[in-house]
Amino acid sequence: MDNNLPLTEAIFYILLAVRKPNHGYGIIQEVSEITGGRVVLGPGTLYGAINSLLSKKWIMLYSEDMASRKKKEYLITKEGIEVFFKEVKRLEELVRNAKLMEGLA
Amino acid sequence: MKKFRLYYDKDREQDWLQKMSSEGWALKKFFLGVYTFVPCKPGEYIYQIDLLENWDGDKEDFASFMEDSGVEVVSQWYRWVYLRKKAEDGPFEMYTDIDSKINQYNRIKNFFRAAFILEMGGFLIEMNAALRTKSLLFWIFAILAGVFAILFLRIVWRCQWKIEQLQREKG
């Protein structure tokens, strides 16, 4: 099995938030929004995760405008998309198998 | 206002900064155990302390990332960073998942383990000199180095204990 999986919740949502160019603060906000405030990424957690995703080449630096000191934006790579969908497949299998429990709830 | 303190546990140090903020004193600068405070509205800020990964490589990158994320870098000393956010902007915690919390304690542990080894080396050299020369000065140095070595070792153990707690939580 792919030893990159399962993804942590933080990594999963960061990948999702950089499907289009996004910067640090934007990632924190979007993740909080789409999870109804359940997943709030600490800036230290995000910083560490971004650096590890960059070194794995799952995301890349999209823009770094030195002159205007614009915020750095990140974008998912092909590898990142691949890993993301592998994880989605794994999650779908979990949900599919969870149906065996139906009737007990 | 200036206060001199030596903390060997960043969580307790953080709690103390929080208490100072709730009493209307905001940390402005840290240098060698000297904390400089300026007045603020009681409870205006939430403070967090962090240790950077590298000696200097990622200092600027880290600082600009934090500023971009709405976090103010108050003071940097060596690899230690003091950060804060206004309390009215909501809760502020640097590390929000167990893995990144474990990583942080690992960084701190490794930092103090290196300090311990250095101090232990100093202790042995001073001890050797003290035994050879029977000079009081070397004895004092040896005792000082010994005390610091024990202190650093305690921090290493504390971090280890916290890491194990977190790992148990993770299951």
Q: Which CATH class is domain A9-101?
A: mainly alpha
Distance CA(B126)–CA(B132), nearest Å, equals: 10
Is residue A22 within 8 Å of residue A29, measured between CB atoms?
A: no
Q: pLDDT tens digits for A35-90?
A: 999 999 999 999 999 999 999 999 999 876 655 566 789 999 999 999 999 999 99
The answer to whether the Cα torsion of B42, B43, B46, B47 is positive or negative is positive
Distance CA(B125)–CA(B95), nearest Å, equals: 40
- Tokens 């030893």 correspond to A3
Domain ranges of chain A: 9-101
Give the ipTM.
0.82
Per-residue pLDDT tens, chain B, 171 aa: give them.
999 988 888 899 999 999 999 999 999 999 888 999 999 999 999 999 999 887 556 677 888 889 888 899 999 888 889 999 999 988 899 999 999 999 999 999 999 999 999 999 999 999 898 888 888 888 999 999 999 999 999 999 999 999 999 999 887
Q: Which residues contact B98 (CB under 8 A, 6 or more apart)?
A: B166, B169, B170
DSSP B147-163: HHHHHHHHHHHHHHHHH
Task: Write down the pLDDT at residue B51.
Answer: 92
Residues of B contacting chain A (CB within 8 angstroms): 48, 50, 62, 64-66, 68-71, 91-97, 99-100, 103-104
Show residues of chain B in contact with A44, CB under 8 Å.
48, 50, 94-95, 100, 104
Beginning with the edge strand found earlier in the chain, give each strand of the sheet holding B72-77 in spatial order.
B45-51, B80-86, B72-77
Show residues of chain A in contact with B50, CB under 8 Å.
44
Nearest-CA neighbor of B83 among B108, B107, B105, B52?
B52
Nearest by CB to B68, which of A24, A44, A49? A24
Which stretches of B60-167 are assigned E, i.e. beta strand?
72-77, 80-86
- Tokens 């979990």 correspond to A94
Task: Write down the pLDDT at residue B56.
Answer: 57
What 3-state DSSP class applies to B94? coil
Q: Is A47's CB within 8 Å of B65's CB? A: yes
Is residue B130 within 8 Å of residue B138, measured between CB atoms?
A: yes
